[in-house]
Amino acid sequence: MLQRRFYRTYEGLKLRRIVITMLCYIRFYRTYEGLKHKGIDHFRSRITEFLSYL
C-alpha cells in the first residue's frame, strides 16, 4: 500500500517537472522569438527574468 502510494507520488512529481520544464521552454522560446523583433537589450532583460523564475 505504502509502496503504491509512493510510486504514485513519484510519478506525479515527474509529470509536474515535465510540465514545468515545458512551460519554461515555451516561455524561453517566445522570448527568443521576441529577440528578432525587439533587439538584444530586451532579450537580455527577459533572460534575467527567466532565470529568476528557476
Q: What is the pLDDT of residues 5-27, one digit of tens each?
A: 777 888 888 888 888 888 888 88
Tell me how far apart the alpha carbons of residues 47 and 28 are, in angstroms, rounded to a whole number: 8
8 Å CB contact between 45 and 39? no
Tell me how far apart the alpha carbons of residues 19 and 49 are, in angstroms, rounded to a whole number: 19
Listed in sequence order, the residues at least 6 apart from 51 whose beta carbon sits closer than 8 Å to its beta carbon are none
Compute the average pLDDT of residues 27-47. 75
Tell me how far apart the alpha carbons of residues 16 and 12 are, in angstroms, rounded to a whole number: 6
Output the pLDDT for position 34: 72
Compute the average pLDDT of residues 20-38. 80
Output the pLDDT for position 2: 67
Compute the average pLDDT of residues 28-49. 75
Verdict on whether the full-model pTM lies above 0.85: no
